[in-house]
Amino acid sequence: MKKFVLYLVLAIAALGLVTNMEYFLNMIVNSLVFLVVIGLILYGIYYFFILTESQRKYKRALRKSKRKYKNRKK
């Protein structure tokens, strides 16, 4: 009888942990998505409103050059 009560308590605790973990993970995912969206918005503001056209062209050319020479052997 004591084993049955112990297993029952453990099962209830495991069920509570799993349901709470789902809520906790959902909060973490929501926070991460929110941070990514805020970061993208701030980067967009920086890229389109703070950088000049020549700076944007330079950044674009730099990314293209890095992609081109990334797989090149030395």
Domain boundaries defined on the chain: 2-67
- Tell me the pLDDT tens digit for each residue of 3-19: 889 999 999 998 888 88
The answer to whether residue 74 scores a pLDDT higher than 60 is: no
- pLDDT for the residue 21: 85
**b/e per residue 11-48 (b: at least 16 CB within 10 A):** eeeeeeeeeeeeeeeeeeeeeeeeeeeeeeeeeeeeee
Tell me the C-alpha distance between 27 and 21, whole Å: 10
- pLDDT for the residue 10: 94
- pLDDT for the residue 73: 62
The answer to whether residue 41 scores a pLDDT higher than 90 is: yes
For residues 51 and 59, is the Cβ–Cβ distance under 8 A? yes
Residue range 20-36: mean pLDDT, rounded? 92
- pLDDT for the residue 34: 98
CA atoms within 13 A on the CB side of 1: 0
